Structure 1
Amino acid sequence: MRVMVLVKATKDSEVGHMPSRELMAAMGAFNEELASAGVMRAGEGLKPSSQGKRVAFKGADRTVIDGPFAATEELVAGFWLWEVKDMEEALAWVKRCPNPMPGPSEIEIRPLYEESDFSEV
């Protein structure tokens, strides 16, 4: 089962505050554990939404929206792509993760569609 693990943005991440060296070391060690266990397929941090763009679609029309974007708690500051046995394994890994932000933060786990999900359509 593949899952996308989303680190939610905070006010600190949205203004571009970089993590402390201690947090970077802790996250590096965690990433090494994930890689050694064969779980991590990819993972990266994202720059603040002020450096991003969105494209809104309406029929054939495309509208470009410049960041920053509102609702910080709904934005993504980073991600991992993991291959796990099931959602319980993904949850167990996330519970072991260092807090990815200096203050309160959230991580969301979302399963990816697999080819087998479309075989019934």
Structure 2
Amino acid sequence: MEILASRVLLRPADYDRSMAFYRDGLELAIAREYSGGTVFYAGQSLIEIAGHGASADGTPPFTGALWLQVRDLAATQDALRQRGIPIDREARREPWGLHEMHVSDPDGVTLIFVEVPDDHPLRRDTRG
């Protein structure tokens, strides 16, 4: 199988509220807009906020989490606070060596902001 492209598709209960969160709160750049939604750049991935397709009871079908790597986790945490975004779990170093902080989008989707320290195995060159 050859995968040509991918993105995370979210179907929020309230499109405008989620747009404000991702566009204004997180300040993600818009990759494209279409009549039924908006696609944002998220590093090497895309996040699409669809203006259609929420479940009948308003519960979003996505139950996972978004892993978003940032350069400076402390600065990211401060910036989100200044924009009024509540921090669900403060930035801290995890037992596996990454620095992580959690926030939730308006529908309860967990966003895990991650800083990879210089000494972490993800930064090591594994070529011989």
**TMscore range, shorter length:** 0.3 to 0.5
Structure with greater contact order relative to length (CA < 8 Å, sep ≥ 6): 1
Larger helix proportion, structure 1 or 2? 1
TM-score (norm 2): 0.33
TM-score (norm 1): 0.35
